[in-house]
């Protein structure tokens, strides 16, 4: 029996397991089979990502992420915000440092929910990663998308109307050979001054209502193309996220802010 929390950020939903001493899941060995079983929306609990909390000597906690297909994810911005909200509420904290594969992320209570600094974007083709050295702002791919690394790879298509373009037709680019580790795919259009409409197909998951790392990647790519400023609202299927790309100073990085929700606690009987 595995106790868990069900949380979401704008409908981007997560199962959270606490593997710290006393958390209920200490000693649990999460495997691809276990992640797939819990992630099955018909026979398990269902999630876009599974987040596992563990102790860390240099941060408030260590987070690891699993996709619904049993693969791992190096970054998950909305799950990070959800776990930060849970830990902040439990400990009466305003700020936490959470270690992920992306590094130690600064998480803070903010107007509108929880803000997390997702760090500087990765804009070298080897870091995204891509299979070859190409122009990241306009890939040699049908539709001329942009590539951005956020600890996981992203491919952003800018179109006239993200609603009319249809997400399903772009899902095939998840496995394009230019992305050796597959990629998250976004379709985005300008919806107003510093406002973008975004739809997301997540690597290892499929269509999702929202994605924090995708929001950061789209905001970064839009600014690089001169479509927006550094601070932008992203309207996703599940709601709105704000991304503020701060280029310098001690708070440098892509700050992503939005609401979180703790839906219920449960016990999974495997």
Location of structure tokens 């230019």: 178
Q: Do 211 and 263 have their domain in common?
A: no
Question: Do residues 175 and 199 both lie within one domain?
Answer: yes
Confirm whether 131 is domain-assigned.
no
Mean pLDDT of 250-268: 97
Going by C-beta distance under 8 Å and a sequence separation of 6 or more, which residues neighbour residue 39?
15, 45, 46, 47, 50, 66, 67, 68, 69, 70
Rounded to whole angstroms, the Cα distance separating 95 from 42 reads 36
Residue 232 lies in a domain: yes
CA 95 – CA 80 distance, rounded (Å): 13
Same domain for 94 and 168: no
- Please indicate, yes or no, if residue 251 is contained in any of the structural domains: no
pLDDT digits (tens, 9 = 90+) for 142-199: 999 999 999 999 999 999 999 999 899 999 999 999 999 999 999 999 999 999 999 9
Q: Work out the mean pLDDT of the chain and round it to a whole number.
A: 96
- Binding residues, by number, are 12, 49, 67, 77-78, 152, 184, 202-203, 212-213
When divided into structural domains, the chain yields a total of 2
Q: Say if residue 67 is in the same domain as residue 112.
A: yes
Residue 189, H or E segment: strand 184-192
Catalytic residue check, 82? no
Domain that holds residue 108: 2-118+258-268
> Per-residue pLDDT for 43 more than 90?
yes
Instruction: Respond yes or no on whether the N-terminal peptide bond of residue 129 is cis (omega within 30° of 0).
Output: yes
Say whether both 39 and 114 belong to one domain: yes
What band does 104 get if pLDDT is binned at 50, 70 and 90?
very high
pLDDT-based confidence at 270, cuts 50/70/90?
confident
Percent of the chain past pLDDT 90, that is, above it, reads 96
Q: Do 60 and 85 belong together in one domain? A: yes
Contact 8, 82 (CB under 8 A): yes
pLDDT value of position 112: 86
- Whether pLDDT at 120 is above 90: yes
Q: For residue 235, what is the domain's CATH number?
A: 3.10.310.10
Q: Do 175 and 213 share a domain, yes or no?
A: yes
CA–CA distance, 48 with 210 (Å, rounded to integer): 10
Helices (H), the chain: 32-39, 77-91, 162-165, 212-224
Binding residues for substrate: 12, 49, 67, 77-78, 152, 184, 202-203, 212-213
Active-site residue, selected from the candidate residues 25, 76, 155, 220: 76
Q: Which residue has the tokens 């197909």?
A: 201
Query: Based on the domain organization, do 92 and 167 belong to the same domain?
Result: no
Establish if 124 belongs to a structural domain.
no
């Amino acid at each position: 029996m595995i106790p868990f929390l069900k949380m979401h950020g704008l409908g981007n939903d997560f199962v959270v397991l606490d593997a710290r001493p006393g958390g209920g899941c200490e000693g649990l060995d999460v495997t691809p089979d276990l992640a797939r079983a819990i992630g099955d929306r018909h026979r398990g609990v269902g999630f876009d990502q599974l987040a596992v909390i563990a102790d860390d000597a240099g941060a408030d906690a260590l987070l690891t992420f699993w996709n619904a297909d049993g693969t791992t994810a190096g970054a998950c911005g909305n799950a990070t915000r959800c776990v930060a909200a849970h830990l902040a509420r439990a400990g009466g904290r305003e700020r936490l440092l959470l270690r992920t594969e992306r590094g130690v992320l600064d998480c803070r209570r903010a107007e509108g929910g929880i803000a997390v600094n997702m760090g500087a974007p990765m804009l070298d083709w080897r870091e995204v990663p891509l299979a070859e050295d190409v122009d990241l702002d306009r890939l040699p791919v049908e539709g001329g998308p942009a590539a951005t690394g956020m600890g996981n790879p992203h491919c952003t298509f800018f179109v006239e109307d993200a609603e009319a373009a249809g997400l399903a037709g772009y899902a095939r680019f998840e496995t394009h050979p230019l992305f050796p580790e597959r990629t998250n795919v976004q379709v985005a259009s300008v919806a107003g001054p510093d406002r973008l409409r975004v739809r997301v197909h997540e690597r290892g998951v499929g269509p999702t209502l929202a994605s924090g790392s995708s929001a950061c990647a789209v905001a970064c790519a839009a600014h690089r193309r001169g479509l927006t400023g550094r601070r932008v609202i992203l309207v996703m299927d599940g709601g709105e996220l704000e991304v503020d790309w701060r280029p310098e100073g001690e708070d440098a990085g892509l700050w992503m802010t939005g609401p979180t929700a703790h839906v219920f606690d449960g016990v999974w009987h495997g």
